[in-house]
């Protein structure tokens, strides 16, 4: 029993030793076993082999990069190396900059890099955008650009090398006969659209006196009345006539209970039109017509002056305003200053003075002290005929008929003129009797004594001034004039 037990213990010991031997042998085989995969290296080998350096080259946008003259995207080496890079943008693109490891490195298309570690290089290309501006002389025009409607003037931003399809839309009074435009976008530029003008814009401003407008073109005519500021389109080269509507012969209409407003003239594009009230022209372009108006009373009163008689006494004589017979508005005042002096003052004053009955010769002293510019024809005349037709004859107060200045004249009227020139229709202006019956006794202009006065005459005209008698004085003043009258001689 003891021996068996000892035998069993020895067996266990042998088995234990055998297991240890087998384990050591297996470990030795494991350590001496070659690598399982050919690509694997041992730690000792890894520590002695040189490392590789990589450079990747990519581009963003349309373009390419040449690396040392070749188009490659990856360069690697076991040593430090240099790269010569050349960025070449595609058509309609441009090179913007280099990114090296995500940082902007330069904007020149050529770049020299020394690679010492792994490096990512990116060439960034961009397609530029340009602004195309559209302008036109025609106000109110528009255009369609690639399907979008824009009001002129307009700006369109588009990428380079794109194509704009442009259809201009002309405003009223203009035409576009050239169809659709194809405009390549090659840079910032301005395109001026030259619409063809077919009609003029006529603007009427400051309208206080209604006007009748007549337009004739291509054999057709139309008329209409405008009573306030308005703008109308008139075909180019059409005939246009503008004149007061509903006004009297002076161009006046009722303004309020005491005054009339009168169309005196027009300002045409800022310049005064030479023909007052009526504007008649072939329309060649845009026009601005502005009314120049004046105000005058509905009625002027009869006043009185005094006339010196041969015996040295004074006699009253009525002063009748001539506003209702004028073809221009009466602008001004008149008043008796005393001592036989009548003052007329204003831009345009006309009066008739009735002398005493039975006079044979009358002398008139007229002193014109101021004259508005552009005005002439201040005159002293005598009514010769006023039964079948009207005629008055006399002398200018400015002896040479100048448009501006001061004048002093003394005129002697002989009643014989009424008898010699009484035949209706007779025109005495060029007869030798004119100087005999209407004598210029003294003439001074701007302080200089003149040899004679200029002749002045109204008529003959086929009209009669109701209430005005033959032999009356007919006085017209532009400016400020002082008048004194004396009867030199009575008949009989």
> Residue ranges of the domains in the chain?
53-126, 129-197, 201-297, 303-490
Using an 8 Å Cβ cutoff, are 446 and 470 in contact?
no
pLDDT at 47: 53
Given this structure, which CATH class describes domain 201-297? Answer: mainly beta
Phi and psi of 457, rounded to 5°? -155, 140
- Which of 85, 58, 80, 52 lies closest to 70, judged by CA? 85
Most confident residue range from 42-51, 67-76, 141-150: 141-150
Measure Cα distances from 197 to 173, 214, 230, 231, 235 in Å. 6, 21, 20, 17, 9
pLDDT at 102: 92
pLDDT in tens, 405-449: 889 999 999 999 999 999 999 999 999 999 999 999 999 988 899
If you average pLDDT over residues 392-417, what whole number do you get? 88
pLDDT at 14: 34
pLDDT at 21: 38
For residue 9, the tally of other CB atoms under 10 A from its CB is 10
77/25: higher pLDDT = 77
34 pLDDT more than 50? no
357 pLDDT more than 90? yes
Average pLDDT, the chain: 88
**What percentage of the chain carries pLDDT values higher than 70?**
88
pLDDT in tens, 164-183: 999 999 998 899 999 999 99
398/24: higher pLDDT = 398
pLDDT at 403: 64
Q: What distance in Å separates the CA atoms of residue 486 and residue 339, rounded to the nearest whole number?
A: 12
pLDDT at 41: 45
Residue 411: CB partners within 8 Å, gap ≥ 6? 363, 364, 366, 380, 394, 395, 438, 439, 440, 441, 453
pLDDT at 4: 33
Asked if the domains 129-197 and 201-297 are classified in one and the same CATH topology, the answer is yes
**What percentage of the chain carries pLDDT values higher than 90?**
75
Could you tell me the sign of the dihedral formed by the alpha carbons of 320, 321, 327, 333, in that order? positive
Choosing among 3.30.230.80, 2.60.40.1120, 3.30.1130.10, 3.40.50.12240, the CATH entry for 129-197 is 2.60.40.1120
pLDDT in tens, 273-317: 877 778 888 999 999 999 999 999 999 999 999 999 999 999 999
pLDDT at 2: 34
């Amino acid at each position: 029993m003891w021996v068996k037990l000892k035998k069993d213990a020895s067996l266990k010991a042998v088995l234990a030793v055998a297991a240890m031997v087998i384990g050591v042998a297996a470990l030795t085989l494991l350590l001496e076993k070659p690598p399982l995969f050919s690509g694997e290296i041992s730690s000792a080998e890894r520590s002695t082999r040189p490392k590789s350096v990589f450079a990747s080259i990519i581009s963003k946008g349309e373009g390419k990069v040449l690396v040392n003259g070749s188009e490659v995207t990856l360069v690697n080496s076991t040593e430090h190396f240099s790269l010569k890079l050349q960025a070449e943008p595609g058509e309609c693109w441009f090179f913007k900059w280099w990114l090296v490891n995500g940082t902007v490195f330069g904007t020149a298309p050529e770049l020299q890099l020394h690679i010492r570690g792994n490096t990512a290089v990116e060439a960034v290309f961009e397609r530029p955008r340009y602004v195309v501006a559209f302008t036109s002389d025609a106000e109110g025009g528009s255009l369609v650009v690639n399907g979008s409607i824009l009001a002129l003037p307009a700006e369109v931003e588009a990428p380079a090398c794109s194509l704009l399809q442009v259809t201009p839309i002309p405003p009223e009074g203009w035409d576009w006969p050239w169809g659709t435009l194809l405009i390549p976008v090659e840079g910032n530029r301005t395109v001026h659209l030259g619409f063809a003008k077919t009609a003029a814009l006529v603007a009427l401003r400051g309208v206080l006196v209604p006007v009748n407008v007549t337009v004739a073109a291509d054999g057709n005519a139309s008329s209409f009345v405008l009573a306030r500021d308005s703008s109308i389109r008139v075909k180019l080269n059409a005939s246009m006539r503008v004149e007061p509507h509903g006004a009297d012969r002076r161009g006046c209409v009722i303004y309020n209970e005491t005054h009339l407003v009168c169309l005196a003239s027009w300002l045409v594009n800022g310049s005064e039109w030479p023909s007052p009230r009526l504007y008649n022209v072939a329309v060649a372009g845009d026009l601005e017509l502005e009314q120049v108006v004046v105000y005058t009373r509905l009625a002027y009163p009869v006043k009185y002056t005094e006339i010196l008689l041969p015996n040295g006494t004074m006699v009253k004589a009525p002063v009748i305003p001539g506003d209702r017979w004028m073809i221009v508005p009466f602008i001004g005042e008149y008043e008796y200053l005393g001592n036989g002096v009548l003052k007329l003052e204003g831009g345009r004053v006309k009066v008739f003075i009735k002398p005493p009955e039975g006079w044979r010769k009358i002398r008139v002293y007229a002193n014109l002290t101021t004259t508005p510019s552009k005005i002439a024809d201040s005159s002293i005349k005598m009514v010769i005929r006023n039964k079948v037709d009207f005629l008055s004859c006399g002398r200018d107060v400015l002896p040479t008929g100048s448009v501006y200045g001061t004048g002093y004249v003394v005129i002697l009227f002989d009643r014989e003129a009424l008898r010699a020139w009484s035949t209706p229709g007779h025109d005495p202006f060029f007869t030798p009797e004119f100087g005999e019956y209407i004598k210029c006794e003294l003439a001074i202009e701007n302080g200089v004594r003149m040899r004679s006065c200029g002749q002045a005459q109204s008529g003959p005209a086929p009209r009669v001034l109701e209430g005005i008698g033959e032999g009356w004085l007919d006085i017209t003043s532009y400016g400020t004039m002082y008048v004194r009258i004396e009867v030199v001689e009575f008949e009989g």
